[in-house]
Amino acid sequence: MATVSASIVLDEIRVYAYHGCLAEETKIGSDYRVRIRVWAHLSKSVISDELSDTVDYVLLNRIVKEEMAIPSKLLEHVAGRISERIFRESALVEELEVEVSKVNPPIGGDVSSVTICLRERLKN
């Protein structure tokens, strides 16, 4: 059988969190949206139909919720922590993309959201 490389996407994970450089942001909080895309070789799970042979998206969602609950000044920092944990806790993930969006950011303009996108590949 050929090697199956696939991606798994968790889209629009909704979280209320307390990130930002302004004191008000860490007290009042804001709505955030997180998107995770992971790439992995899933040949085994295509045949076995077993959760242990794939990337568990329940785990990915839990990692996002737990890391978003830790206040940070920068979205880049939050995305980096999410990325680090996914690589550490899901051995099948070879590459990932984490997008963290702050909804209605306080930047003095009519902007629906601001997003940081972090893409990393596991080093061999």
Q: Hey, which residues are catalytic here?
A: 102
CA distances, 67 to each of 62, 75, 107 (Å): 9, 11, 24
In contact, 19 and 71? CB cutoff 8 Å: yes
Tokens of 45: 């799970």
State the Cα angle at 93 between 74 and 118, rounded to 5°: 25
Distance from C-alpha of 116 to C-alpha of 76, rounded to nearest angstrom: 6
In contact, 42 and 5? CB cutoff 8 Å: yes
